[in-house]
Structure 1
Amino acid sequence: MTSQSQGIQQLLQAEKRAKDKLEEAKKRKGKRLKQAKEEAVAETDQYRMQKEKEFRLKQSKIMGSQGHLADEIEDQTQEKIKELNRSYNQCMESVVKQLLNMVCDIKAEVHVNYRATS
């Protein structure tokens, strides 16, 4: 009987050691999962910061070039306005003369579709 109770004691102790090892393995697994999650979050944060930096650089290049284009368009517009004003000043007198001639030099004629009713 004593050998039987010793065998049971050994089995119980072995079971307890197995439970302890299982709990320890679960704790290690939980720690490793937590560590992996922290590493993944750190890696994604680093990747996000890198992409945001690249985006800001591209955005500044594009916005800078757009600002330059806006200045260039403004210069072209001002030049076109000056050109149109010069053209207006050159042609204004001749156009006014033509209009006055057309208005003042009236030739009285009977219209071709006029029918005399008598």
Structure 2
Amino acid sequence: TSTLLHPSALNLRTDLSPVFKCFLSRVVTCAGKNRRLKQAKEEAQAEIEQYRLQREKEFKTKEAAALGSHGNSAVEVDRDTAEKMNRIQASYRSNREAVLTELLRCICDIQPEFHANYRVAG
């Protein structure tokens, strides 16, 4: 597109004033700068998008690793909970009779006695 804007490509008359020729050359230069700026901006956008995709991929990888280890810890917690429940139930089964016997003894074997602060009136 820069060849279309160049004064020689426009078949302009050669008797144009030097001021006008200078103006046209600046317009062509400005258009070239704008084109280069636009191209640089597009390249920067493409590079930013590529970087963003790369970082997003790294994040997804780390997230999957973290969630995978979290899943393992959930399995470990479930296993520990089941193990503790088994120990509690075994303790209940082994001590049940002794606890019931002690409770019944305390309830049934009553030894009546006076309270320490009791005073006989009279």
TM-score, normalised by the number of residues in structure 2: 0.84
Say yes or no: does 1:64 pair with 2:68: yes
Partner of 2:39: 35
Residue 42 of structure 2 aligns to which amino acid in structure 1? E
Cα RMSD after superposing both structures: 1.4
**Within-5 A mapping of 1:73-88:** 73-88=77-92
Segments of 5+ residues of structure 1 without an aligned counterpart are: 1-8
The offset of 1:31, in angstroms, is 0.5
What is the CA–CA distance in structure 2 between the aligned matches of 1:26 and 1:117, rounded to whole Å? 122
Distance 2:60 2:119 in 1: 81
1:30 partner amino acid: N
Identity %: 40
SS of match in other structure, 1:106: coil
CA distance in structure 2 between the partners assigned to 1:36 and 1:91 by the alignment: 82
Whole-angstrom distance in 2 between the partners of 1:49 and 1:116: 95
Partner residue of 1:94 out of 77, 95, 98: 98
Q: What's the CA shift string for 1:19-38, capped at 9, x where partnerless?
A: 11101101011101101111
Structure 2: which 5+ runs fail to align?
A: 1-13
2: CA distance, partners of 1:104 / 1:56: 69
For these two proteins, the number of residue pairs brought into alignment is 109
Higher helix share: 1
| Equivalent position to 2:53, from 49, 60, 65 | 49
Deviation at 1:117, TM superposition (A): 2.1
Please report how far the alpha carbon of residue 83 of structure 1 lies from its aligned counterpart in structure 2 after TM superposition. 0.7
